[in-house]
Amino acid sequence: MRFMYFSAGKDRGTAPVPLGFLLVVAAVAQSPPPPFTKGCGAGLEAGDIYVRCAVIKAGVIKREHVRLTHTGDIKSWGITPDGTLLAFARGRPNVDRELRVLDLRTRQTIKSEPTDQRSRVDPTCGTLLFSEFWIKDSTSGYTFHDLVENKEMPVPPSTRGLRCSGDRRYTLRLANYDELYLDSPQPSRIAKGVEYFNISPDGEHLAYSQGDQLCAGSREEVQRDKASCLGMTWTAGPMVVLSDGRVLFTEQTGQACKFDSNGELSESGELSDPCPAIFGWKPGEPNDQLLSFKDSDPHVISTDTGLHVIELSRKWKEKGKGP
C-alpha cells in the first residue's frame, strides 16, 4: 500500500496521492479535526501484512509503516482492537493452510495448527473470528471460533459466513450457500446470490457483493430493499465497511500481473492474471475509487492501534526479533 489513488470512474485514474494524505481525509470525514490529524490503514501486499500510518502536524506529513510478515502467503488476517494479537491463515494453493495466532507484545506464537484452505481469519464481532471449514464423511460446514476468548461462537448449522457489529447486537450470516441474513435479533433474508459481505463496527451500515454488483447502505435501507448498487466488471472480494458507510473492497483490475506456479504475485512469474487492488466506494456515488494497486484484503484499524503495532514491531526488531 505504497500509494492511494483518486479515480473519476472505471478508468481508475492515474494521478498518485500519498497514502498518508488519504488516511487523514478518512479520519477527518468521521470526526471533527483535532489540532493535528493522523490515520492508519492496513492490508495485504504480495501476500504479506503491512500497517501504514501517517501523521500531519503543522502541515508536515510523517509516515511510518511496518511489514508484519515475510512469508508471502498470507490469505486472511486480523489484529485485535488493542493491537496485542495478530492472527492469520497462510498457505499455498492446493495445500492445507496454517492458522497462527501471535502475541505482538512478546512475539510468541500462542496457537499454530493446520486448517483447510477454505478457512479464514477476520476481525469482526469485536474479536478475531476464525471461520474453520470442516469435512466429516459426506457432510461439510463451518465452525466459528473467537480467537481472543478461545471459544466457539454458536450459530445455526447452515451458517457458512459470519460478520457482526462490535457489540454483536447485529449479525450478518451467510446461510444455505448464498443467502444473506441479518439477525437483529430476529433473522430476515436481505439478499441472495451473495459471496462476500460485511457490516460496520457500529452495525449501522452493510455491504455485500452479488454477482456483477456491489450493494451497500444503512441497515434500515438494506432491510427495506433500498440499498445502493454499483455495477462491477469483476465480483467484489473481501471488504470492510466504515462507520460513515464507505466500503473498501478487493477487486481485480484491467492490468495484468505476473504470478508464480503457486498463484503468488511474482515479477519473474510465468503466469498472467488481472492484478488485484483495493477500491473505495460511497453508496450513492456513481463510481468507485482506486485506493491501492496490487493490494488486497483491506482492514480498518484505529490510529492508536496502528501506531502501537508499529512501536511494538520496532522494539522487537531492535532486539533482533523482527517480524
Mean pLDDT, range 49-58, rounded to an integer: 87
- What pLDDT shows up at residue 5? 31
Alpha carbon separation from 276 to 66, 122, 156 (Å, rounded) = 21, 19, 33
Do the beta carbons of residue 293 and residue 46 sit within 8 Å? Answer: no
Do the beta carbons of residue 54 and residue 35 sit within 8 Å? Answer: no
Name which of 301, 312, 296, 284 is nearest 228 in CA terms.
284
Q: Report cis status (omega within 30 of 0) of the bond before 185.
A: yes
Do the beta carbons of residue 275 and residue 252 sit within 8 Å? Answer: yes
Average pLDDT, the chain: 84
Residues 6+ apart with CB under 8 A from 141: 133, 134, 157, 159, 160
Does pLDDT of 21 surpass 60? no
> Per-domain residue ranges for the chain?
3-318
The set of cell numbers assigned to 87 is 492472527
Mean pLDDT, range 13-22, rounded to an integer: 39
Residue 233: pLDDT band (50, 70, 90) is: confident
- What pLDDT shows up at residue 321? 57
Residue 315: pLDDT band (50, 70, 90) is: confident
- What pLDDT shows up at residue 243? 92
Mean pLDDT, range 10-30, rounded to an integer: 41
Q: Percent of the chain, pLDDT > 70?
A: 83
> What is the distance in angstroms between the CA of the first residue and the CA of the last residue of the chain?
18
- Amino acid letter for position 210: Q
Considering the entire predicted model, what is its pTM? 0.83
Does pLDDT of 15 surpass 80? no
Do the beta carbons of residue 150 and residue 171 sit within 8 Å? Answer: no
- What pLDDT shows up at residue 260? 66
Do the beta carbons of residue 172 and residue 197 sit within 8 Å? Answer: yes
Burial class (CB in 10 A: 0-12, 13-18, 19+), 305: buried
- What pLDDT shows up at residue 20? 39
Q: What is the pLDDT of residues 253-279, one digit of tens each?
A: 878 887 666 556 666 666 677 888 899
Does pLDDT of 86 surpass 50? yes
User: Cell numbers 508471502 correspond to what residue?
Assistant: 72
Strand (E) or helix (H) holding 52: strand 48-57
DSSP state of 144: E
Lowest mean pLDDT among 16-20, 55-59, 199-203, 248-252: 16-20
Does pLDDT of 35 surpass 50? no
User: What's domain 3-318's architecture?
Assistant: 6 Propeller (2.120)
Q: What is the pLDDT of residues 293-313, one digit of tens each?
A: 888 999 988 899 999 999 998
The set of cell numbers assigned to 101 is 495466532
Cα(323)–Cα(321) distance, rounded to whole angstroms? 7
Does pLDDT of 177 surpass 60? yes
- What pLDDT shows up at residue 79? 96
Residue 84: pLDDT band (50, 70, 90) is: very high
Cα(34)–Cα(28) distance, rounded to whole angstroms? 9
Task: Tell which wins on pLDDT, 267 or 88.
Answer: 88
Taking residue 138's Cβ as centre, other Cβ atoms within 10 Å add up to: 5
- What pLDDT shows up at residue 279? 92
Q: Percent of the chain, pLDDT > 90?
A: 58
The sign one gets for the Cα dihedral 247, 54, 299, 202 is negative
Name which of 245, 252, 260 is nearest 295 in CA terms.
252
Does pLDDT of 229 surpass 90? yes
